Amino acid sequence: MATATEQWVLVEMVQALYEEKEELIEEWQPEPLVPPVPKDHPALNYNIVSGPPSHKIVVNGKECINFASFNFLGLLDNPRVKAAALASLKKYGVGTCGPRGFYGTFDVHLDLEDRLAKFMKTEEAIIYSYGFATIASAIPAYSKRGDIVFVDRAACFAIQKGLQASRSDIKLFKHNDMADLERLLKEQEIEDQKNPRKARVTRRFIVVEGLYMNTGTICPLPELVKLKYKYKARIFLEESLSFGVLGEHGRGVTEHYGIKIDDIDLISANMENALASIGGFCCGRSFVIDHQRLSGQGYCFSASLPPLLAAAAIEALNIMEENPGIFAVLKEKCRQIHKALQGISGLKVVGESLSPAFHLQLEESTGSREQDVRLLQEIVDQHSGCGHGGTNRGRTGESCVHHQGGSPGRPALGRVPGPWLPATQHAERTQDSRWPWRGLKESKNMCIFDRIVTKWCQYGPIV
């Protein structure tokens, strides 16, 4: 039993502690919720587009030729697509007001899934209402903590987010370097032999893109399939850029290489590039795809795709199936532009000649990333002065960098290849595109710029 004095001391101590705590609470100052951003940051002064982002685009009031949108097949302002969307609008209205599980499944969604599965010659397809969410929800549905994923260093941001959400072990291999991947797989095999019980439950995945957004190159799929069977890993193929572009009928990189579609476990693509709609889909065997209907977060916990966008995608698929010739036209145009841009000193073209999205990189870096970005921005601005809508990905050139938990641009793994300008190619550049030219004063940038425009003018009328 404590005496009166001891009790009194205890009470005082408790009170002092309490006051100390209150003081700590008063003193603590958190950081501001958001740090200030510079007022002249280009993202705050967006290029406002009025009108459809089709072949010709009106940016900030000026009409330009569009080299920046991912409208590869030019279906964005196709009258048939618009008519189909309009018919759907008249029947269903705009929104679906519910996720797929709760009366948000419309017959158009089921139709679209059927059509996509038939087009890609797989058993089943599943659609998501947002392109980014597609691969970012698909990967964590299969790969959990403790599983191993081998992913290319140049994988796009959506894949990185999917991997981060899955909490699996990530092993990066050099871009398109099959020897490096094989080395990693062999190392993993050695690890497995040390602990066979764990190896029996550890799933392995290889995540690659058909056409890499960050480099414009195609992945070597035949070698990957060989590695798959040798080391027993499953392949997840992300075909956002290659769907509707590569292959004789636009079925993507599997058709391009003539690989059986069943060899690829999951193909994911978004409908925002070639199909000129919004959303994404995954296709593959029912065994694989059906799992996502309960465990794909972006599928279960999000409202379904508005029916008018689904109807537009169905019509775009119809057009793709009826005119398989447009893919050849697109490839031809890509090759021509690629050739045309080869000879410019100061800029080099990064990307395959077949790829409709490629990058123009500075041949020699000025040494600092900010200066490179500024130089490229100047080129872009003068571009738009002359009527070409381009875009500087310098500020978003960080997209190729893997980061874990930090904001984009803080490289944790992987080398930053340097800022660049992406340009995209549309199948509909017709004969009457003329490249407007205006005389401009001399400067180092101007020399580069002059040469770009000269080359384009020479090759101007592309059929």
Partner 1 sequence: MANPGGGAVCNGKLHNHKKQSNGSQSRNCTKNGIVKEGQQNGKPHFYDKLIVESFEEAPLHVMVFTYMGYGIGTLFGYLRDFLRNWGIEKCNAAVERKEQKDFVPLYQDFENFYTRNLYMRIRDNWNRPICSAPGPLFDVMERVSDDYNWTFRFTGRVIKDVINMGSYNFLGLAAKYDESMRTIKDVLEAYGTGVASTRHEMGTLDKHKELEDLVAKFLNVEAAMVFGMGFATNSMNIPALVGKGCLILSDELNHASLVLGARLSGATIRIFKHNNTQSLEKLLRDAVIYGQPRTRRAWKKILILVEGVYSMEGSIVHLPQIIALKKKYKAYLYVDEAHSIGAVGPTGRGVTEFFGLDPHEVDVLMGTFTKSFGASGGYIAGRKDLVDYLRVHSHSAVYASSMSPPIAEQIIRSLKLIMGLDGTTQGLQRVQRLAKNTRYFRQRLQEMGFIIYGNENASVVPLLLYMPDLKHAWTKGIRKTKGRVMASL
Nearest distance in Å: CB 152, partner 1: 17
Q: At what angle do helices 325-340 and 444-458 cross, to 10 degrees?
A: 140
Q: At what angle do helices 131-142 and 157-166 cross, to 10 degrees?
A: 30
Q: Which of 296, 274, 268, 290 has the alpha carbon at shortest distance from 123?
A: 290
Nearer to partner 1, 111 or 378 (CB): 111
Interaction of residue 3 with partner 1, rule CB under 8 A? no
Of residues 75-94, those binding partner 1 (CB under 8 A)? 76-77, 81-82, 85-86, 89-94
Nearest distance in Å: CB 5, partner 1: 25
Report residue 125 as tokens.
């397809």
User: How far out from the chain centre does Cα 229 lie?
Assistant: 28
Nearer to partner 1, 312 or 349 (CB): 312
Nearest distance in Å: CB 389, partner 1: 6
Of residues 321-380, those binding partner 1 (CB under 8 A)? none
Nearest distance in Å: CB 345, partner 1: 27
Among 197, 200, 438, 441, which residue interacts with partner 1 (rule: CB under 8 A)? 200
- In sequence order, what are the beta bridge partners of 284? 124, 266
Of residues 205-234, those binding partner 1 (CB under 8 A)? 229, 232-234
Among 2, 4, 5, 29, which residue interacts with partner 1 (rule: CB under 8 A)? 29
Interaction of residue 197 with partner 1, rule CB under 8 A? no
Interface segment toward partner 1; rule CB under 8 A; list 105-113, 114-122, 330-338, 443-451: 105-113
Nearer to partner 1, 54 or 336 (CB): 54
The half-sphere exposure of 331 on its side-chain side, counting CA atoms within 13 A, is: 16
Q: 393 and 422 in contact (C-beta within 8 Å)?
A: yes
Report the distance separating Cα 213 and Cα 357, nearest Å.
7
Interface segment toward partner 1; rule CB under 8 A; list 126-134, 171-179, 180-188, 348-356: 126-134
The half-sphere exposure of 35 on its side-chain side, counting CA atoms within 13 A, is: 2
What does the per-residue mask of binding to partner 1 show for 43-62, with x meaning CB under 8 A?
xx-xxxxxxxxx--x-x---
Residues 6+ apart with CB under 8 A from 26: none
Report residue 47 as tokens.
């290029």
Strands (E), 280-439: 280-284, 347-350, 357-362, 388-389, 420-424
Interaction of residue 201 with partner 1, rule CB under 8 A? yes
Q: Taken in order 82, 87, 88, 92, is the CA torsion positive or negative?
A: positive
Report the distance separating Cα 172 and Cα 160, nearest Å.
11
Nearer to partner 1, 295 or 323 (CB): 295
Interface segment toward partner 1; rule CB under 8 A; list 214-222, 246-254, 279-287, 348-356: 279-287
Among 55, 65, 109, 225, which residue interacts with partner 1 (rule: CB under 8 A)? 109
- Tell me which DSSP letter residue 99 carries: B
Q: At what angle do helices 107-120 and 307-322 cross, to 10 degrees?
A: 30
Q: Which of 323, 253, 342 has the alpha carbon at shortest distance from 74?
A: 323
Q: Is 247 left (phi over 0), alpha (psi -120 to 50) or beta?
A: left
Interaction of residue 413 with partner 1, rule CB under 8 A? no
Nearest distance in Å: CB 447, partner 1: 26
Among 302, 353, 377, 445, which residue interacts with partner 1 (rule: CB under 8 A)? 302
Nearest distance in Å: CB 263, partner 1: 8
Of residues 229-258, those binding partner 1 (CB under 8 A)? 229, 232-234
Interaction of residue 196 with partner 1, rule CB under 8 A? no
Nearest distance in Å: CB 85, partner 1: 5
Of residues 150-169, those binding partner 1 (CB under 8 A)? 156-158, 161, 164-165
Interaction of residue 40 with partner 1, rule CB under 8 A? no
Phi/psi for 224 (5° steps) reads -65, -40
Interface segment toward partner 1; rule CB under 8 A; list 217-225, 266-274, 344-352, 434-442: 266-274
Helix ranges (H only) for 244-341 are 253-257, 286-289, 292-295, 297-300, 307-322, 325-340
Buried b (16+ CB within 10 A) or exposed e, 236-247: bbbbbbbbbbbb
Nearer to partner 1, 252 or 389 (CB): 389
Q: Which of 405, 406, 165 has the alpha carbon at shortest distance from 301?
A: 165
Interface segment toward partner 1; rule CB under 8 A; list 169-177, 179-187, 272-280, 352-360: 272-280
Interaction of residue 190 with partner 1, rule CB under 8 A? no
Nearest distance in Å: CB 442, partner 1: 30
Nearer to partner 1, 301 or 437 (CB): 301
